[in-house]
């Protein structure tokens, strides 16, 4: 990416760039411990897209923060290029933090309102000594603005965040994430605050980065239609109350979802066609409200809402992720029984 960065070939195609192995995150609160993420294992290969899908409170952001090294997991390990990030030496950890960049949900809150884009973009490069001198930094900043389609760059580089629209701000946030030449971008609901029409152009721009620069993505969204559009060639993990309940190639998750929760998420999306959506009827879920993490249901945590709930099966044991076909796994007792030959 950047001229000064030595070309590193530490990754082979066989080892994933980043691995989360059985990570958990328990928050201690006055009302008791909250297990926000429970035993989650995920990996991202170079240039690959991994979509993390689920409702608010499903632990998507907590998992992403652990992947970015922003919070230390209370259990399990996060490895970058095969090495545990929390036992790395300082320079290595710093290099890891450079390689994994976070784009937040709210572009109104994530950019410093007192700094023009020129400062927002050059400061990280100068701080990490990736460029020599402010002139080179400015030239690089302009390149980055072009990369995120804020053209011509001279119209934008002097602007303050309040002078930009929501979509432009989010592009600026992406440009900032690119300043350090990341290998992975964690995009946390990066398009959910944007207008529908802007969302698609934003996603195309991110897709271009993925294809042209080979940047891998951990793409977080609550909308499976968006995951489908951005992560079609990648994989999707569906999270519910801190656990991964379904994982597989995105086309299979969308077109042949196995877990009742994934199905509910797909069914909930309104279609841009009245013939399809008017016939849809109400949701099949037995309850609309997500249980509190402080008082999780016994057995499968989805059981109080699940349309396929079976007493004596689903409320007893927590289901493990099991393969329904190679590369596609789901954590559901009922589906597992059928797969075994029901």
Partner 1 sequence: MIDQPGFDLRGGDEDPILSVRDLHVYYRTGAGTSVEAVRGASFDLYPSESLALVGESGCGKTTLGLGLLRLLPRLGSATGEVSFRRGDRTVNVLDLRGRSLRRFRWRDAAMVFQGAQSAFNPVMTIRAHMTDTMRAHGRVNRRLVEERAAELLRVVRLEPKRVLNSYPHELSGGMRQRVLIAMSLLLDPQVLVLDEPTTALDILTQRSVVDVLHEVRDRLGFAMIFISHDLALAAELADRVATMYAGRIIETGNVRDIFHRPRHPYTLGLIKAVPPVVGDLPDMESIPGGPPSFAALPTGCSFHPRCKFATAECEQIDPLLEPVVDEGASEHEVACLHSDEVHLDRRLPDVPTRPTTGEPTTGESEGPQR
Q: What string marks each residue from 201 to 240 as x (binds partner 1 by CB under 8 A) or -?
A: x-xx-----------------xxxxx-xx--x--------
Q: Single out the segment in contact with partner 1 by CB under 8 A; choices: 118-126, 135-143, 170-178, 188-196.
A: 188-196
311 sits near partner 1 (criterion: CB under 8 A): no
Cβ(5)–Cβ(181) under 8 Å?
A: yes
342 sits near partner 1 (criterion: CB under 8 A): yes
- Distance between CA 41 and CA 244 in Å, rounded? 8
| Beta partners for residue 280, in sequence order | none
154 sits near partner 1 (criterion: CB under 8 A): no
Q: Single out the segment in contact with partner 1 by CB under 8 A; choices: 60-68, 83-91, 95-103, 266-274.
A: 266-274
Give the position of tokens 């945590």: 301
Cβ(39)–Cβ(82) under 8 Å?
A: no
Nearest C-alpha neighbor of 306 from the set 337, 271, 334, 325: 334
The residues in 320-339 that bind partner 1, with binding defined as CB under 8 A, are 324-325, 334-335, 338-339
Taking the complex as a whole, the smallest distance from the CB of residue 329 to partner 1 amounts, in Å, to: 13
CB closer to partner 1, 134 vs 163: 163
- Distance between CA 78 and CA 72 in Å, rounded? 9
- Distance between CA 322 and CA 310 in Å, rounded? 18
**Summary count for the chain: helices (H), strands (E):** 11, 12
Cβ(14)–Cβ(81) under 8 Å?
A: no
* Residue from 49, 238, 254, 314 in contact with partner 1 (CB under 8 A): 254
Residues 6+ apart with CB under 8 A from 11: 17, 46, 81
CB closer to partner 1, 268 vs 296: 268
275 sits near partner 1 (criterion: CB under 8 A): yes
* Residue from 249, 251, 297, 304 in contact with partner 1 (CB under 8 A): 251
* Residue from 131, 265, 293, 314 in contact with partner 1 (CB under 8 A): 265
Taking the complex as a whole, the smallest distance from the CB of residue 308 to partner 1 amounts, in Å, to: 5
267 sits near partner 1 (criterion: CB under 8 A): yes
Tokens linked to 237 = 């993990």
* Residue from 258, 301, 303, 329 in contact with partner 1 (CB under 8 A): 258
* Residue from 268, 296, 313, 318 in contact with partner 1 (CB under 8 A): 268
Tokens linked to 333 = 């007792």
Q: CA geometry: angle at 111 spanning 105 and 117, to 5°?
A: 130
CB closer to partner 1, 138 vs 200: 200
Q: Single out the segment in contact with partner 1 by CB under 8 A; choices: 21-29, 32-40, 42-50, 278-286.
A: 278-286
The residues in 13-72 that bind partner 1, with binding defined as CB under 8 A, are 55-56
**Strand (E) positions, the chain?**
18-29, 32-44, 49-53, 75-80, 83-84, 100-103, 184-188, 216-221, 235-240, 243-249, 322-325, 328-330
* Residue from 22, 70, 109, 256 in contact with partner 1 (CB under 8 A): 256
- Distance between CA 306 and CA 176 in Å, rounded? 42
Tokens linked to 126 = 């100068």
List the strands of the sheet with 235-240, edge to edge: 100-103, 184-188, 216-221, 49-53, 235-240, 243-249, 328-330, 322-325
Q: Rule CB under 8 A: which residues touch partner 1? A: 55-56, 165-167, 192-193, 195-201, 203-204, 222-226, 228-229, 232, 251, 254-258, 260, 263-285, 288-290, 307-308, 324-325, 334-335, 338-339, 341-342
């Amino acid at each position: 990416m950047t001229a000064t960065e030595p070309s590193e070939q530490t990754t082979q195609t066989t080892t994933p760039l980043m691995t989360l192995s059985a990570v958990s995150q328990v928050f201690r609160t006055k009302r008791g411990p909250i297990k926000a993420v429970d035993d989650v294992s995920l990996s991202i290969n170079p240039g690959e897209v991994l979509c993390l899908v689920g409702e608010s409170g499903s632990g998507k952001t907590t998992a992403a923060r652990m992947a970015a090294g922003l919070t230390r997991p209370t259990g399990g390990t996060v490895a970058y290029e095969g090495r545990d990030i929390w036992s790395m030496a300082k320079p290595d950890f710093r290099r890891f933090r450079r390689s994994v960049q976070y784009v937040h949900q709210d572009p109104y809150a994530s950019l410093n309102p007192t700094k023009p884009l020129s400062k927002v973009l050059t400061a990280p490069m100068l701080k990490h000594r990736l460029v020599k001198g402010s002139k080179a930094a400015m030239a690089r900043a302009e390149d980055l603005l072009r990369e995120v389609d804020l053209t011509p760059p001279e119209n934008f580089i002097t602007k303050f965040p309040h002078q930009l629209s929501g979509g432009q701000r989010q592009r600026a946030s992406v440009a900032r994430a690119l300043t350090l030449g990341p290998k992975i971008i964690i995009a946390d609901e990066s398009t959910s605050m944007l207008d529908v029409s802007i969302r698609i152009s934003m996603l195309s721009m991110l897709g271009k980065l993925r294809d042209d620069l080979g940047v891998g993505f951990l793409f977080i969204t609550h909308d499976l239609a968006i995951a489908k559009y951005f992560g079609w060639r990648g994989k999707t993990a569906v999270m519910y109350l801190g656990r991964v309940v379904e994982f597989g190639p995105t086309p299979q998750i969308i077109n042949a979802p196995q877990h009742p929760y994934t199905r509910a998420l797909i069914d909930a999306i309104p279609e841009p066609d009245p013939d399809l959506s008017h016939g849809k009827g109400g949701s099949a879920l037995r309850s609309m409200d997500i249980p509190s993490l402080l008082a999780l249901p016994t057995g499968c945590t989805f059981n109080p809402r699940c349309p396929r709930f079976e007493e004596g099966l689903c409320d007893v044991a927590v289901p493990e992720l099991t393969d329904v076909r190679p590369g596609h796994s789901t954590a559901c007792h009922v589906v597992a029984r059928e797969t075994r030959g029901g």
